[in-house]
Amino acid sequence: MRQLLIFLLFVSPLASAQENIEGRWLLSLQDKQRTLVGLLEIEKSDTGLVAYLEGGPASVEIDGNNVVITADSRDVRGFVFDRRMTGTIDGDLMNGTYAQVGAAAQKEKPGPWRAVREESVADDKLAPSPVDLTGTWVATQELDFRKYTMALTQAGEEWLEVYLPYYDQPDVRCTSVGLPALATYSFPFEIIASDNRLTMIYEYQSNVRRTGWDDSDPGEYVPPSRMGNSTGHWEGSTLVINTTHLEKTVRDFRGELISDDARIEERYTPSEDGNTLTAVITVHDPDNYSRPPVRRRQWRRNNAADIFPYTCDPDSFYLKMYEDGEMDMYLQRADKRF
């Protein structure tokens, strides 16, 4: 009996910590220049604890009430690195310090992090309370973890293994990258409102997008496109846009596939003064992702900002391949381009 009691006393702190850490957490960290925010999901598996940050795999290690969470990211120059968060668990709160691990062009100083357990949200939708989102919006560097790896299905992994961003990415040959990537790029965009739609004009690639309201009928013959067919509604002061009728494209800088059966949900929430706009963009595509990937973006209203013309010359892309003798290889990869 005494041996059993000693054993229980020895394992109980770890078991308690593992039980306490399971669930959905809102994670935030600060590097003195900006604050990043993401959804952290922690679950039990046959091999221990598994974690996902913004829909992508992360690692979690427990030692008593101490915890280490590690997640990969990519900076704006293309460097891939880890963010390592070391701290403690205390009920519905985790906190500690984090550090950037690995080479990166966008240097981050060590800073604090914390995670609070996500509060349950009522199923009842808030009554519509539309706000004025018209004007020009300029991106900040806040919120977005830019999570690098995602939880891909086998089909998604097989696609990515043979994808070459330099040759296959749509925008390298001046073709629209489409959604959801366009909504996450750090270029300004303008919103124009009319009675039956919102029109978004993006500086990047001079793309134009039109969003009708939920009671609008897309029609029987709406063709698939990179922008898809978008309909919106208000949940309180949050604009919710759902997009279907998408052409195949890639999700982001890494080249993960977006199928033509995908649905993209965007939630745009203005600040109380109406001058900051926050978006949570989620891709629902079970063909390629075992867990929906998430991106967050933030913009500030700046009606003095210009939307500049966007020019792109595909000849510079094709000419280099021709000079390097790579045109045959490029043509043989036609199935990787849409």
Average pLDDT over residues 196-207: 92
- Please indicate, yes or no, if residue 145 is contained in any of the structural domains: yes
Average pLDDT over residues 311-330: 89
Residues ≥6 apart with Cβ < 8 Å to 220: none
Task: Please write the tens of the pLDDT for every residue from 11-33.
Answer: 444 455 556 789 999 999 998 78
Same domain, 177 and 272: yes
Same domain, 161 and 283: yes
Task: Please give the Cα distance from 202 to 210 (Å, whole number).
Answer: 11
Average pLDDT, the chain: 88
The number of distinct structural domains making up the chain is 2
Q: What pLDDT was estimated at residue 256?
A: 94
Same domain, 100 and 149: no
Same domain, 97 and 164: no
- Please indicate, yes or no, if residue 35 is contained in any of the structural domains: yes
Same domain, 186 and 308: yes
Same domain, 147 and 37: no
CATH of the domain at 313: 2.40.128.20
- Please indicate, yes or no, if residue 225 is contained in any of the structural domains: yes
Q: What pLDDT was estimated at residue 9?
A: 43
Q: What pLDDT was estimated at residue 103?
A: 85
Task: Please write the tens of the pLDDT for every residue from 123-155.
Answer: 667 898 999 999 999 999 888 899 999 999 999
pLDDT of 34 strictly over 50: yes
Same domain, 169 and 281: yes
Task: Please give the Cα distance from 18 to 51 (Å, whole number).
Answer: 12
Question: Are the CB atoms for 75 and 83 separated by under 8 Å?
Answer: no
- Cross-strand pairs, 213: 232
Same domain, 108 and 217: no
Same domain, 100 and 166: no
- DSSP three-state, residue 53: strand
- Please indicate, yes or no, if residue 128 is contained in any of the structural domains: no
- Please indicate, yes or no, if residue 333 is contained in any of the structural domains: no
Average pLDDT over residues 81-87: 95
Q: What pLDDT was estimated at residue 20?
A: 78
Question: Are the CB atoms for 27 and 37 separated by under 8 Å?
Answer: yes
Task: Please write the tens of the pLDDT for every residue from 38-68.
Answer: 999 999 888 889 999 999 999 999 998 999 9
Same domain, 144 and 111: no
Same domain, 113 and 207: no
- Please indicate, yes or no, if residue 317 is contained in any of the structural domains: yes
Same domain, 217 and 171: yes
| Stronger pLDDT, 289 or 224, i.e. the higher one | 289
Task: Please give the residue range of the domain that contains residue 159.
Answer: 135-323
pLDDT of 271 strictly over 90: yes
CATH of the domain at 24: 2.40.128.120
Q: What pLDDT was estimated at residue 8?
A: 42
